[in-house]
Amino acid sequence: MHQPVTVAAPQEGAEARRRRFTGALATFRDTSVLVPVRDDGWLTADFGGIRWILAFSDKSALARYALEQDEGHAEWTYQSVSGARLLDVAAPAAQVPCGVALDAADGAERALLLPPVAGIVPDAYAVNKGYTSDAIVIGTEEPE
């Protein structure tokens, strides 16, 4: 088996990016967001081997997503759910690697992806359990 391949995070600005992300994560956990309901469950999308729960910071963000999906004319049912509940309860309940995509229609400058990694979801459900460092884990195969 292959050893995990790592790429060191760029040092310049890495600490500032880490602080911004940590602050955004804390705010998300303490905030209620809107989660659309479809087919008796929350709206999700599977991408890159991860199930993403789609959440929105407000009705405007949800409306932008609906328009992007050519469903702006449809009525969207949603629930208000705490960010902590999504990460601590809903993601593990998916029984597959699961994270949260906040404001997915708003592009990289505003959207927030919270992948199922240690420090975001419970460690037992993290796809990188056992790998902790400031480097980005590219490969995840464990040695025999």
Model pLDDT for residues 121-139, shown as the tens digit of each residue: 999 999 987 554 444 443 3
State the pTM of this model. 0.79
- Write the pLDDT tens digit of every residue in 1-22: 444 444 455 555 888 888 989 9
pLDDT in tens, 50-63: 999 999 999 999 99
Average pLDDT over residues 33-39: 95
> Using CA atoms, how far apart are residues 3 and 97, in angstroms rounded to an integer?
21
Separation CA 109–CA 126 (nearest Å): 25
Token pair 């997503």 is found at 65
